Structure 1
Amino acid sequence: MTAARLFPALVLCLALPPSGAATLADLQPPIRRDDGGMEYMAGGQDGRQRAFLERVAPQWGATLEFVAPAALTPTDALPVEVRIVDRYRGGQVLSARAEGPLLLARLPPGTYEVEARIGPLATTQTLTVMLGVPGRLRFAWPSNVDFATLAQPRRTLAQGGLP
């Protein structure tokens, strides 16, 4: 086989991932923008995706981690509604839905109030992002919460539920 024929075959072999190997597209959740234009990335249910997010987290302004009780498996995890407000200016900076245990946001330096909500349960923490030093918060929900009930849609009075 001549070198002219061997080179394209070699390039093709190197470009394809080995069978069973994850590609970057498998590991990297999409970068999204909320209505205000703030970029964020959420995910991490898969261990390899979580490792990828942890690796790129220092390049983002903030990392938010959501921890459910140990009884829940990652597939049971409920989406977390996240709202970030500038602490001193009062304007909403980000409104997003995290489908996994990690959310990375490109927040500029500042101080923020971060609300994380699963159904009717909400918790708020203060986050400070400094130039070159990303902020990180960890939100944990107690183990005595009935997450199965929270996953159900609210029922109206006509359906036999409470208002």
Structure 2
Amino acid sequence: MTPRFPSSLRAMRPLAAAMFCGAVLLGAVTSAQATVNPPIYMSHGVEYMSGGIGSDEAQLMETVSPRWPATFEFAIKDHKGADFAANVHVTVRDGSGTALLDNVVSGGPFMVARLDPGNYTVEARIGSQVLKQELRVPQGAPAKATFVWPAGTDMASAGTRTVQ
């Protein structure tokens, strides 16, 4: 036995079908525009990822950084504000001086790394200007190091983006 629907409901079938197709199309378009994770690289057994060029990718890096043991942020600051820096050469050494990340290049102002708990020395270089910091990665919690170069840093070797 086929159910009989009132004529007012039968008239709505084309509308319902159109709405369903529209929802499927919208989902496909939204998925196509989603931000793609930057690639994950490995150096001496340590995974790392860098990025943050453009607001969508910067938001993505800020969202994923608490899930990585170590986060590094790079900027160049003057009296007007700060520019995010990219193409920063990064070296991370463990407590015995062994380079775990050895002169890897950050493709954006953010870099995350899967470092084991411990103490590290981090060097970040733009052109000939090197900044160095100690970083302690605790068990079960993320650590962050921010590197800010002064205005006049050799920006010919660095990509920059204004902080908003």
Q: Give the TM-score normalised by the residue count of structure 2.
A: 0.72
Q: Of 28, 52, 56, which residue of structure 2 is paired with 1:16?
A: 28
Which AA in structure 1 matches 2:49?
A: M
Q: Of 54, 62, 76, which residue of structure 1 is paired with 2:62?
A: 54
Aligned equivalents of 1:66, 1:98: Cα separation in 2 = 9
Aligned equivalents of 1:78, 1:139: Cα separation in 2 = 12
Aligned equivalents of 1:24, 1:90: Cα separation in 2 = 37
Describe how 1:134-153 pairs up with structure 2 within 5 A.
Answer: 134-148=142-156, 150=157
Which AA in structure 1 matches 2:97?
A: G
Describe how 1:27-66 pairs up with structure 2 within 5 A.
Answer: 28-34=37-43, 36-66=44-74
Aligned equivalents of 1:108, 1:59: Cα separation in 2 = 13
Mean CA deviation greater in 104-113 or 65-74: 65-74
User: 1:97 and 2:105 equivalent?
Assistant: yes
Q: Of 79, 91, 94, which residue of structure 2 is paired with 1:86?
A: 94
The two structures, once aligned, show a CA RMSD in angstroms of 2.8
Change (3 A) 1:78 1:123: same
Q: Of 120, 123, 126, which residue of structure 2 is paired with 1:118?
A: 126
1:61-87 deviation digits (Å, cap 9, x = unpaired): 10000011357765xx45100000002
Which AA in structure 2 matches 1:136?
A: K
Measure how far apart 1:10 and its partner are: 7.4
Could you say which residue in structure 1 is the equivalent of 2:115?
107
| SS of corresponding position for 1:128 | strand
Q: Give the TM-score normalised by the residue count of structure 1.
A: 0.73
| SS of corresponding position for 1:63 | strand
1:15-36 deviation digits (Å, cap 9, x = unpaired): 41339x73132xx2111112x1
Which AA in structure 2 matches 1:147?
A: M
Aligned equivalents of 2:92, 2:152: Cα separation in 1 = 26
Aligned equivalents of 2:93, 2:54: Cα separation in 1 = 29
Change (3 A) 1:18 1:78: closer
Higher Rg of the two aligned structures: 2
- Unmatched segments (≥5 aa) in structure 1: 152-163
